[in-house]
Structure 1
């Protein structure tokens, strides 16, 4: 036996959508109902475990045998469920470091689909590829019927249909593998996947007494604020957007929206009553409690949250995306004494919080990060890359002056402002006020952004005038001629590749046309995939690059692109490869989480921060000349330095 394709139907009273598979399998009533499998691409067998059928011993042995490759679509689900099943059988001898089947011999068809620029849904992939085998549409209703409470008896036509559904899923997964076999995922990416699974299995520790009290305090705070709003407005439900808009209209204030930005603008010019009402509404709208509730939902019996990261979640670049608690979008913390505020919440001291802080909701929001803690006797090292995208972009475009700034540990925002305004700019010093303009331009203009991008990055809110935005863009582009040239060199290479159906290249990046696909080959050897590329016409009547992919509404549609946007994909993809390389370099340490370009390491108190940062900043052989830097700090709870 060389390979085993697997699909499971399971049941548990825990909601997997809210809690994830790790918590799902901890439920006492968790069970595998059906086990569908195929050995070496042969006929699919379905084992009805509920009705007393047994998985053959050779298959059970293969599940624990690292020499047999196991395939599944979203393989993390099958691997974690089977870990629980084999543990119950006494076949998986767990230790503190290994609760789960080793991911080394598991391969995920969903990751393969994502690598090819395809969706992360089995049904949609099958449809997009036009497979003969299509996922059965009855599946969702059958899962609701048999897999979620109240569990129904596994009998009759519905049960036989459920078994057919299980068989079909294995067939569809195998058909996807057969369709994609010409485009194998590189071994290096599978090694990254294994590391990702190890991090997901390890999980990150939560301070649950702190979390429980945060939820209680939030509920108490919201109740008080709602009562105050009812008193001020006379509204039955002041949380209702419609009721609040109608009340504001009666007070002479008409508004289309009550979103954060609109309310902030309204607050600048209203009466004291309206100011209090709008501020209370803003505080009520804070979603801090949702993060704490997500922690309650996902935490496992050992107080660790697992399954926080989706490998290849952003399939355009291969970057990770967040799941469940979503560490990628936690609020920042700016409280002067974080530890003291945290201790008050942990004690449940609502009176002190209300007395000492203007907004308890804001305190809870700023403390979300601090719910993540190292286990007893250990510490966190939090380390991140300094200006990683700016460094990669400068290296790719050979923008020498920028590389010199990085070589001398300079401040890229000051250097950019100095170059744009032809003067010396020092942070908190000479012409220091120009640094913000340099920063805004850096963030907005690197990938072809213009006035709209500057506005999106908050240029007007930071005090810039509308009429200075276009000159700012022009000044940035004049200061960075090699980057501008790089955008259009990539644009030409991609268009030539599509038109000629050939291999083109520029700046160490290859563009390859193969069987109706365009691949962008990165210096690491990894490829970005663009499905069914064409040359189209943009809104200005010029040529544009189009390809099939998931649009902003998550629909499979034709997407338009051009040189600067492809440069963004390339730069972010290389930044992702550098993060994965750093994770491999540091894999002997316990990485418990990663957020954008930052690693959170749970380690022994004796581990040196400087050596961890030094290892993280190592440059791979394929990135010769790229200057990396990692900075970090140590802490006893997660925070933003």
Structure 2
């Protein structure tokens, strides 16, 4: 036996969409209903465990055999489910991995597992079996009845008179549906195998599988949650919301001040017309009122902002995701962003947590942990905002360990400068200077120092750096908050011109990439720009990065943009989350490339530090759970090592030690 293709149908009383696969599979009520498998490409066999079938010993033995490759679509689900099932029912066939101190070792070793969903993502295809089958126009398609069958057999049902008050549907309750469910299970394995055959001429490099296995280790390890902080924060939020609602009702006389319609009417009755009660609009009104407006209106809108804070949702997500070991597992989706190959967040969404700016964060956290609502109310005017800033602090190292949090300094700016050959910027990084000051100095031709000479120009340098690196113009500056930061409308276009004039190599790089992509698509020839290679094969555009990894664009062609000019379009999952034609051009491709290279640099650091207990990562940051004796400086030095495929890029990682996660 060399390989197996597997698909499971399972039952659990846990909602997998809210709680994730790890918590789903550890439930006492978890069961494997159907086990569909093909060994070495043979016809699929479905083992009906719900009706008494047993899985052959040689197949069970292969699940822990590192010489047998296990394939599945979203293989993490099958591996986690089988890990729990084996430990419970056939422990003699379960073998964990890693060292005893590592929480990741509770699961089957991911090293011998491969995932056809990851293969699809690598090729720029959808992350669903149904979606991939449709795009590839496979002969075998996923059965459309699947969702109804899963709803019927795989989740608890509501007790009704019609179903005799039962809370679960078993095979005997509808034998016809059960037979169809077995066919559905068989078909899923067949579709997975068809995907592998169709993509066979585009194999995933071993380095990507190694990264996937490292990702699975991190998801298996999970990250500890301080559930006392979580539960107290949820309770505090409820109390705070009740108090705020009462204050608003007393102030406005409204039954439900949370109602946008009622609130707009009340404002209108008081001479204030507002098109929107969105956070940005309300905050802008409050800021500009300056005491000139009726005090009740300003106060009501301040209360509205506090009530609108959704901080509690993150705490509830933590409550949903936490497993029996007190850790949240499965928070990272490998290749979740298939334009760059970056990770996407799952469950608690570590990638988009609110930042913390409180100087007394430790003290506020201690008050919440102690459950002292009265003291919190006494010391902090805005409880929802305080709870929001404390969200990160709910992530903690286990007892006897500490967190080291280390992140790259200005990674995208460094990569962009390196790829484009903008040497003055690389020199700034080499000398350890502030890129925002240096950019402002380059743009305005005067020395700029933070908190020093011409320091007021640093803010213009910063906003330009953040908004203009990928072809952005006046609109990009506005969306980055340039007007709110005090810049005037008249300053914006000159700022764009000044930044582009100061960065001629980057500006040229955008349009060199644009020409290379168009030439490759129209002439079907390989092109190259500063070490980035472009080629066309079998209806796909590929961009080869310095790491050797490929970015994939499906069915590219030349079209016309909204301004009547020439543009590139390709098929992918767009902003609507649907498969559609997406328009792109030079600067956008540069953004994809820079973010992809930055991701590869982070991956290189993760591999360098894989002997450490990495428990999380966010864009350019690693969170490591380690022994108190581990040296922070050594971790940052290891993270700063340039990869072999880009030896002369200048990297810098800075970090800090902490007893709870935060933004330092």
TM over 0.5, yes or no?
Answer: yes
Distance 2:539 2:149 in 1: 37
Q: 1:628 aligns with which of 651, 654, 658?
A: 651
Counterparts of 1:124 and 1:276, CA distance in 2: 50
Q: TM-score normalized by structure 2?
A: 0.95
Choose from 181, 191, 194 the match for 2:210.
191
Unpaired segments ≥5 residues, structure 1: none
The corresponding residue for 1:233 is 252
- How big is the shift at 1:249? 2.3
Instruction: Choose from 508, 529, 534 the match for 1:485.
Output: 508
Query: Alpha-carbon deviations, 1:238-297, whole Å to 9, x = none?
Result: 222222223222222222221111111222234211112111111111111000010010
What is the CA deviation profile of residues 491-519 of structure 1, one whole-angstrom value per residue up to 9, with x for unaligned ones? 11111000111111111000010011000
Match of 1:589 in 2: 612
Q: Do the aligned residues in 1 keep the contact of 2:95 with 2:108 (CA within 8 Å)?
A: no
Alignment of 1:6 onto 2:6: yes
Deviation at 1:621, TM superposition (A): 1.4
CA distance in 1, matches of 2:101, 2:42: 37
Query: Hey, what does 1:41 align to over in structure 2?
Result: 41
- Identify if the C-alpha distance between structure 1 residues 243 and 137 changes in structure 2 by more than 3 Å, giving closer, same or farther: farther
Aligned mates of 1:239, 1:71 — CA distance in 2 = 50
Aligned to 1:145: 152
Give the stretch that moved more between structures: 269-278 or 220-229.
Answer: 269-278
Q: Distance in 2 between matches of 1:6 and 1:58?
A: 14
Q: Please identify, of 164-173 and 268-277, the stretch whose mean Cα deviation from structure 2 is larger.
A: 268-277
Instruction: Tell me the equivalent position of 1:419.
Output: 442
Superposed CA RMSD in Å reads 1.0
Q: Which residue of 2 aligns with 1:202?
A: 221
Match of 2:133 among 119, 126, 133: 126
Distance in 2 of aligned mates of 1:541 and 1:210:
56
Cα deviation for residue 42 of structure 1 reads 1.3
Q: Secondary structure of 2:26's match?
A: coil
Q: Which residue of 1 aligns with 2:183?
A: 164
Q: Which consecutive aligned stretches of 4+ in structure 1 deviate over 4 angstroms post-superposition?
A: 93-96
Residues 1:369 and 2:392 are matched in the alignment: yes
CA distance in 2, matches of 1:369, 1:469: 35
- Is this contact kept in 1: 2:44–2:186, CA < 8 A? yes
Structure 1 Cα separation of the partners of residues 442 and 657 of structure 2:
35
1:111 pairs with 96, 118, 143, which one? 118
1:438 aligns with 2:438: no
Q: 2:428·2:438 contact (CA, 8 Å) conserved in 1? A: yes
Moved more, 89-98 or 532-541: 89-98
How far 1:96 moved relative to its partner?
A: 5.1
CA distances 1:43-102 after superposition (whole Å, capped 9, x unpaired): 111111011100111110111111111111111100000000111121325555310000
CA offsets per residue over residues 463-502 of structure 1, 9 Å max, x none?
0000100000000000000001111110111110001111
> Which deviates more, 304-313 or 235-244?
235-244
Give the secondary structure class of the aligned counterpart of 1:307. Answer: coil
Secondary structure at the residue paired with 1:534? Answer: strand
Matches within 5 A, 1:64-103: 64-88=64-88, 89-90=90-91, 91-93=93-95, 95=100, 97=102, 98-103=105-110
Deviations 1:216-254 (A, max 9, x none): 111111111112222222322222222222322222222
Q: How far is the alpha carbon of 1:143 from its aligned partner?
A: 1.0
Q: Which residue of the partner structure matches residue 60 of structure 1?
A: 60
How many residues align structurally? 641
Pairs within 5 Å for 1:338-349: 338-349=361-372
- Report the Cα distance in structure 1 between the residues aligned to 2:564 and 2:27, rounded to whole angstroms: 59
TM-score, normalised by the number of residues in structure 1: 0.99
CA-to-partner distance for each residue in 1:341-388, whole Å, 9 max, x for gaps?
000000111100111011111110000000011111111000000000
SS at match of 2:274: coil
Q: How far does residue 566 in structure 1 lie from its aligned partner after superposition?
A: 0.4
Aligned to 2:570: 547
Partner residue of 1:242 out of 240, 261, 271: 261
Distance 2:40 2:254 in 1: 66
* Contact 2:219–2:330 (Cα < 8 Å) also in 1: yes
Residues 230 and 318 in structure 2, CA contact (< 8 A), matched pair in contact too = yes
What's the offset of the Cα at 1:26? 1.6
- For residues 103-143 of structure 1, the C-alpha deviation after alignment (integer angstroms, 9 at most, x for no partner) is 00111111111100011111111111111111111111111
In the other structure, the counterpart of 1:461 is 484
Q: Which 10-residue stretch deviates more, 243-252 or 597-606?
A: 243-252
8 Å Cα contact 2:521/2:556 also seen in 1: yes
SS in 2 for 1:324: coil
Structure 2 residue matching 1:513: 3-state secondary structure: strand
The separation in 2 between residues aligned to 1:628 and 1:538, in whole angstroms, is 37
1: CA distance between counterparts of 2:502 and 2:183? Answer: 63
Q: Secondary structure at the match of 1:25?
A: helix
Give the alignment partner of residue 336 of structure 1, picking from 344, 355, 359: 359
SS at match of 2:171: coil
Alignment of 1:569-584 (within 5 A): 569-584=592-607
1:192 Cα deviation (Å)? 0.2
Q: Is the CA contact 2:64–2:95 (under 8 Å) kept in the aligned structure 1?
A: no
